[in-house]
Amino acid sequence: MPSTIVPGVGGPQSTTPTAQQTAIAFNQAAHRGTEISQTYTGIQLGGSGTGSNTVTVGNGPISLQPQGFLRGVLVDLQTTTAATGTPVGNADFPFSIVNLLRLHDTNGATMHEHTGYHNYLLNLFGCGVDGHVNDLSQWPDYSSSATSPSCQFYLPIELDANGFGSLANQSAADTYKLDLVLDSPANVYSTAPTANPVFTVNIHCDYWTLPGAQDMLGRPQQQEPPYHGVAQYTYQSNANTVSAGSGTLKIGFTGNMYRALILTGRAAGSGYATGGARSSAVLPNPYTLRYDTRDLMVGTSREQRRQFFALLDNPSTTFITGVYAFLWNYNGWKNVGGPGFHSWLPTLPATRFELTGTFGAGTVDMLSNTVSVAETNPALRGVSPSATGYSPPVAPTVAGAQ
């Protein structure tokens, strides 16, 4: 009997609906949960009272707690001992405290890699948390106090509220891993404290539970998220030097479907992890975003701000000076994030993708948020043997094919 073909990249679903009874959807059968994966106390910025080093939390990759299907990872940083003196945070503070957030797939490959400030932008433009307050500076426990900062960072896995994009996380032997590095005080403060603050860092995993094959009434249930294996990625390319005058900035990380491209202009200088302070004068105005042979977007800085402010639910000007955001993750409500998605931008490795115009002298940081619609090789993504085991795609039977 020929295999039943289920749309998607993950092969036949584990519970195939029958003609008589449709399976209960995954997001109805599963339940959302949150679990503290790790807690680190006594983490001092700079490594000591007056230290000037970066600090790797957990002294290396942190193995995240295996549980169900991973939706996202929350990093919660709060001050337990205040800094002394009269410090002054830089323009990206307190998000500049984090030098690196890197999430590894179970095969060790990088899924997300960016700074704390880039994480702020990733969430602000609807690529991270679900809900309608994507501005991390508006969360209730946020504080920009230079002596007692408090902020949270969110690494997104899930792409939609129905579980689409969440990934199996059920093997204690093959875990997702997190690199978390705090930046040096010189890159965090424009005026350093006399003694650095001490933090407690809590790492939480948001997940879906694994549904049973049937509910209590015997009805079949879907045991995997829709199109399980589709995954999103975030990569950064920092401090790309641009000279004053007409120029071209080539956009890397092509080959997947783009949800967002976020560019940050910075004046030439030092004291920041990626160059100087953010500056709108560095980015071209007017600009042209070229996509293969097409001038996909041609506009000005005023048009750019109008466009992304109109898409945001809770826009804030505090942290978006010197930022261009090209967004393809808008939904049916004409805003970014939220339920549904439309018009991701497909690219091939050979796609010509570049920003042209007249730049100011400085550097440009690039943050690319993309989606791979092809499942990672099952031999490379560890999943414990269960009802969610991956099956290679099954090609449809074509009548008369030889």
Per-residue pLDDT of 226-235, as tens digits, reads 888 889 999 9
The pLDDT tens digits for 74-122 are: 999 999 999 999 999 999 999 999 999 999 998 888 999 999 999 999 9
Q: Is the pLDDT of residue 273 over 90?
A: no
Q: How confident is the model at residue 390 (pLDDT cuts 50, 70, 90)?
A: very low
Percent of the chain with pLDDT over 90: 59
Task: Report pLDDT for 401.
Answer: 46
Q: Where in the chain is the domain with CATH 2.70.9.30?
A: 28-208
Task: Report pLDDT for 103.
Answer: 96
348: DSSP letter: -
Q: Is the pLDDT of residue 187 over 80?
A: yes
Q: Is the pLDDT of residue 312 over 60?
A: yes
Residue 28 makes CB contacts below 8 A (sequence gap 6+) with: none
Please give the class, per CATH, of domain 28-208: mainly beta
End-to-end Cα, the chain, rounded Å: 18
Helix/strand/coil percentages in the chain, nearest 5: 10, 40, 50
Q: Where in the chain is the domain with CATH 2.60.120.730?
A: 231-372
Return the HEC string of 293-323.
CEEEEEECHHHHHHHHHHHCCCCCCCCCCCE
Q: Give the residue, 331 or 33, on which the prediction is more confident.
A: 33
Please report which residue ranges of 49-95 form alpha helices under DSSP H: none
Task: Report pLDDT for 118.
Answer: 95
Task: Report pLDDT for 337.
Answer: 58
Among 127, 124, 66, 119, residue whose Cα is nearest residue 97: 119
* Fold assignment, 231-372: Jelly Rolls (2.60.120)
CB 20 within 8 A of CB 175: no
Among 169, 156, 176, residue whose Cα is nearest residue 224: 169
Distance CA 373, CA 230 (A): 5
Distance CA 234, CA 398 (A): 38
Residue type, 295: D
Q: Is the dihedral of CA 160, 162, 165, 170 positive or negative?
A: positive
